[in-house]
């Protein structure tokens, strides 16, 4: 499963001195990749690049992806995978490029170099028509909900159904109300987005991302702006919906199992919800693997981050 | 100093980008791919009618009045009051109605589009559309252009009528140096049916440019609410310049060689 996850960019110099992995979990580890151009190896010393196998095919995979905005280098040789049929988390300090990652998966941003594969197909290489078709596999909850300001809540959630399915009004009504009730917004169906609180907008965006029952669901910080109880409930809801969708997919013998990817800062929900964890920092994965293994990781950076302590390698700068 | 050199190049680049954007938009409409969202185009057409027609007609009416009054007194002063119909036939139809129509389109419709699309852009709504597999270009821009093409010829013909009516009111009913029959004799003598078509072409060219420029600045807005404000201002400047250019070029092209008054020299 971890074949080319460690593959190396040809033009990046290797520092053979560091080839010995500092983490012992993975023993036949391939040579350690060098730092990206213009960065000191020191900056990447916590990056063990260890990827613990998930035993599943990848729904989404980043291969040596580089992306810069002007002088800010956001993705710097990212190799990351979201295993199919799992709830994956992308964890990382604020501003490391988690939202940028998500936008690459759905083709809203294109990498400067490297590749992004969705079910094995390269997103940057797709022609427009195919890209729009491919995007129907995705449901995406934006960081701020991104509801359509000109429509009320009900129409917002019904929008994808009306555009992409031939379902009748009754059926749409039923699906939409079920989703709205799930996120606790059944009573607000006629309200406009600007009359909602940030957290409510987010939950409505969540409902909208779900209605088409996509293969891959991406949540960009579903829990920021929610109170702790709602955050916990939302975590449970995510798990429950994932279970439901997996059963459904198995019953219908779908080609791909539903894959969820949650971007978050909230360690508690990560612990509760995640099957698989990717820790992103400085444009690369520090370490990735199934949740149990990550939570038991010996890497001081991972330990600090997953326990949310102020003591450790990660500082304010 | 560097700015002085860079600015024109920036303009040229921006202009090239707008042209490319316009080509994409026109292709979406011409290839009829926009028809998938015909419902949305109808909705936009409805919004256009409800929100913009009255103010356009009102403004044209006022200009028609003024033109009529000035024409009436001027021709009276020169001893040819019977000819006041010329002002209505030429000034209204060829210059003022298209210009005023263009102004109002730029001020009301153009800026409206920039503000609406711009705020959708900065709140990720356009990205959300795209992720749902719907082309923002098609759903937001092409439908607006189609709506404009469906509705505006009618709106424009009505505004010409409003302008003429206003001139008639001013010249014949209010000032009364010339009879109704005398006014219309000259009025019809100084225009042919093609003039109406030319005038319509002029106005539609303005409308298309205004909608495209509005979509361009809205669709590509960035930098938060302030960015949307800046984009609105820029689009207004470009639209007003375009309205005047189209007005002038159109007059030269359509009427420059007119045997009755070869204004093309
Ligand atoms: N369109 C853009 N233009 C320029 N810079 C951008 C753009 N999008 C993102 N960036 C930059 O990329 C970096 C990563 O942004 P991103 O939004 O992905 O962070 P994040 O990991 O999602 O952070 P947070 O957890 O706070 O949401 C930031 O430094 C940001 O300034
Ligand atoms: Mg983010």
Q: Which residue has the higher pLDDT, B257 or B264?
A: B257
Pick from A133, A140, A129: nearest CA to A102? A140
DSSP state of A244: H
Task: Give the pLDDT confidence score for residue A299 in this predicted structure.
Answer: 86
- Whether the per-residue pLDDT at B265 is higher than 80: the answer is no
B40 vs B35: CA distance, rounded Å: 9
Write the CATH number for A257: 3.40.50.300
Decide: helix, strand or coil at residue A308. Answer: coil
Q: Are the beta carbons of A88 and A98 closer than 8 angstroms?
A: no
| Max Cα-Cα span within chain A | 66
Say yes or no: A18 and A8 in one domain: yes
| Sign of the alpha-carbon torsion through B133, B110, B64, B86 | negative
Mean pLDDT lowest among A190-194, A309-313, B123-127:
A309-313
Q: Would residue A88 count as lying in a domain? A: yes
Average confidence (pLDDT) over B197-224: 94
| A144–B128 CB contact, under 8 Å | no
Report which listed range, A236-250, A251-265, A293-307, B202-216, is most confident.
B202-216
When CB atoms are compared, the residue of A138, A149, A164 closest to B131 is: A138
Task: Give the pLDDT confidence score for residue B114 in this predicted structure.
Answer: 97
Q: Where are the alpha helices (DSSP H) in chain B?
A: 2-30, 38-77, 85-86, 97-104, 111-122, 125-131, 136, 143-168, 180-189, 193-219, 224-255
Mean pLDDT lowest among A10-24, A204-218, B86-100, B238-252:
A10-24
Task: Give the pLDDT confidence score for residue A93 in this predicted structure.
Answer: 85
Host H or E run for residue A76: strand A72-83
All residues at 6 or more sequence positions from A45 whose CB lies less than 8 Å from its CB, including other chains:
none
Say yes or no: A10 and A87 in one domain: no
Q: Are the beta carbons of A11 and A114 closer than 8 angstroms?
A: no
Pick from A256, A211, A147: nearest CA to B127? A147
Mean pLDDT lowest among A8-17, A186-195, B181-190:
A8-17
Say yes or no: A221 and A241 in one domain: yes
Strand-pair category, A113-118 with A58-69: antiparallel
B80 vs B188: CA distance, rounded Å: 17
| B125–A136 CB contact, under 8 Å | no
Question: Which of A65, A67, A74 to mutate for ligand 1's pocket (most ligand atoms within 8 Å of CB)?
Answer: A74
A200 vs A144: CA distance, rounded Å: 10
| Three-point CA angle B160, B165, B170, nearest 5° | 130
pTM score, whole prediction: 0.85
Residue numbers of B between 59 and 78 with CB closer than 8 Å to A: none
Say yes or no: A34 and A76 in one domain: no
Pick from A261, A257, A263: nearest CA to A243? A257
Q: Are the beta carbons of A108 and B126 closer than 8 angstroms?
A: no
CA distances to A67, A282, B137, B221 from A71, rounded to whole Å, are 10, 14, 29, 21
Q: Would residue A194 count as lying in a domain? A: no
Residue range B116-141, pLDDT digits in tens: 999 999 999 999 999 998 999 999 99
Interface contact A163, partner B, CB < 8 A: yes
Ligand 1 atom 6: residue of nearest CA:
A69
Say yes or no: A8 and A100 in one domain: no
- Whether the per-residue pLDDT at A212 is higher than 80: the answer is yes
| A144–B130 CB contact, under 8 Å | no
Q: Would residue A158 count as lying in a domain? A: no
The domain containing residue A22 runs over which residues?
1-45
Q: How far is the CA of A104 from the centre of ligand 2 (A)?
A: 13
| A103–B127 CB contact, under 8 Å | yes
* Best residue in A134, A148, A194, A221 for a mutation probing chain B (most B CBs within 10 Å): A148
Q: In the Cβ-directed half-sphere of B167, how many Cα atoms lie within 13 Å?
A: 29
Say yes or no: A230 and A302 in one domain: yes
* Best residue in B133, B136, B138, B144 for a mutation probing chain A (most A CBs within 10 Å): B133
A153 vs B198: CA distance, rounded Å: 46
Q: How far is the CA of A263 from the centre of ligand 1 (A)?
A: 13
Task: Give me the residue spans of the domains in chain B.
Answer: 18-252
Give per-residue burial for B24-59: e unless 16+ CB within 10 Å, then b: ebeebbeeeebebbeebbeebbebbbeebbeebbeb
Decide: helix, strand or coil at residue A215. Answer: coil
Q: What is the predicted ipTM? A: 0.81
Interface contact B124, partner A, CB < 8 A: yes
| Sign of the alpha-carbon torsion through A267, A273, A277, A282 | negative
| B130–A108 CB contact, under 8 Å | yes
The structural domain count of chain A equals 2
Residue range A116-133, pLDDT digits in tens: 999 999 999 999 889 998
Q: Where are the beta strands (DSSP E) in A163-225?
A: 216-220
Structure tokens at A206: 């969540």
Say yes or no: A132 and A60 in one domain: yes
Say yes or no: A63 and A8 in one domain: no
Pick from A271, A268, A245, A265: nearest CA to A256? A245
Q: How far is the CA of A37 from the centre of ligand 1 (A)?
A: 20
Q: Which residues pair with A279 in a beta bridge?
A: A91, A287
Residue range B32-83, pLDDT digits in tens: 999 999 999 999 999 999 999 999 999 999 998 888 888 888 888 888 877 8
Q: Are the beta carbons of A136 and A214 closer than 8 angstroms?
A: yes
Say yes or no: A22 and A95 in one domain: no
Q: How far is the CA of A303 from the centre of ligand 2 (A)?
A: 22
Pick from B147, B164, B126, B176: nearest CA to B49? B147
Structure tokens at B217: 């600045």
Q: Would residue A112 count as lying in a domain? A: yes
B242 vs A85: CA distance, rounded Å: 55
Say yes or no: A218 and A291 in one domain: yes
Pocket of ligand 1 (CB under 6 A): A 69, 72, 74, 92, 94-100, 143
Say yes or no: A52 and A37 in one domain: no
pLDDT-derived band at B259 (thresholds 50, 70, 90) equals low
Say yes or no: A225 and A278 in one domain: yes
Average confidence (pLDDT) over A155-160: 94
Task: Give the pLDDT confidence score for residue A298 in this predicted structure.
Answer: 85
């Amino acid at each position: 499963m971890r074949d080319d996850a460690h593959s190396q960019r040809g033009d990046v110099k290797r520092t053979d001195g560091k080839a010995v992995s500092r983490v012992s979990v993975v023993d036949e580890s391939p040579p350690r990749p060098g730092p990206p151009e213009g960065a000191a190896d020191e900056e990447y010393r916590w990056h063990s690049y260890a990827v613990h196998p998930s035993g599943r095919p990848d729904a989404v995979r980043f291969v040596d992806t580089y992306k810069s905005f002007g002088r800010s280098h956001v993705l710097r040789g990212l190799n990351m995978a979201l295993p199919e049929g799992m709830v994956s988390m992308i964890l990382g300090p604020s501003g490391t490029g988690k939202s940028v990652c998500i936008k690459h998966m759905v083709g809203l941003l294109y990498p400067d170099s490297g590749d992004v594969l969705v079910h094995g197909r390269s997103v940057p290489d797709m022609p427009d028509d195919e890209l729009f078709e491919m995007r129907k596999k995705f449901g995406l909850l934006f960081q701020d909900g991104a509801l359509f300001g000109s429509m009320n809540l009900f129409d917002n959630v019904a929008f994808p159904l009306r555009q992409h399915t031939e379902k009748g009004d009754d059926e749409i009504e039923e699906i939409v109300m079920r989703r709205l009730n799930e996120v606790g917004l059944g009573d607000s169906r006629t309200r406009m987005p600007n009359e909602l609180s940030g957290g409510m907008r987010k939950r409505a965006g969540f409902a909208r991302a779900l209605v088409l029952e996509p293969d891959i669901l991406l949540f960009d910080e579903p829990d920021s702006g929610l109170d702790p109880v709602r955050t916990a409930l939302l975590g449970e809801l995510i798990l429950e919906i994932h279970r439901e969708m997996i059963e459904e997919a198995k019953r219908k013998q779908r080609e791909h199992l539903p894959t969820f990817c949650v971007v978050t800062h909230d360690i508690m929900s990560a612990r509760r919800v995640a099957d698989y964890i990717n820790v992103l920092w400085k444009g690369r994965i520090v370490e990735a693997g199934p949740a149990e293994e990550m939570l038991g990781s010996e890497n001081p950076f991972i330990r600090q981050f997953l326990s949310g302590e102020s003591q450790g390698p990660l500082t304010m700068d | 100093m560097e700015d002085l050199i860079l600015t024109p190049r920036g303009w040229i680049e921006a202009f090239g980008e707008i042209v490319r954007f316009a080509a994409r938009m026109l292709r979406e409409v011409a290839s009829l791919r926009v028809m998938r969202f015909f419902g949305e185009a109808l909705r936009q057409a409805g919004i256009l009618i409800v929100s913009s027609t009255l103010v356009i007609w009102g403004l044209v009416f006022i200009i028609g009045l003024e033109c009529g009054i000035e024409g009436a007194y001027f021709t009276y002063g020169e001893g040819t009051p019977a000819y006041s119909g010329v002002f209505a036939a030429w000034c209204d139809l060829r210059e003022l109605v298209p210009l005023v129509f263009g102004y109002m389109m730029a001020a009301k419709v153009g800026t409206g589009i920039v503000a609406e699309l711009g705020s959708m852009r900065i709140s990720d709504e356009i990205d959300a559309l795209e992720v749902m597999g719907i082309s923002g270009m098609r759903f937001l821009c092409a439908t607006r252009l189609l709506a404009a093409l469906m509705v505006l010829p009618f709106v424009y013909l009505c505004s010409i009528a409003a302008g003429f009516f206003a001139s008639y009111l001013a010249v014949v009913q209010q000032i009364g140096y010339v009879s109704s029959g005398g006014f219309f004799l000259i009025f019809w003598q100084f225009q042919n049916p093609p003039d109406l078509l030319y005038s319509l072409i002029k106005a539609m060219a303005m409308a298309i440019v205004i909608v495209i420029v509005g979509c361009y600045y809205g669709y590509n807005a960035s930098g938060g609410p302030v960015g949307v404000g800046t984009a609105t201002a820029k689009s207004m400047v470009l639209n007003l310049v375009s309205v005047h250019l189209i007005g002038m070029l159109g007059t030269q092209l359509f009427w420059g060689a007119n045997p009755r008054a070869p204004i093309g020299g």
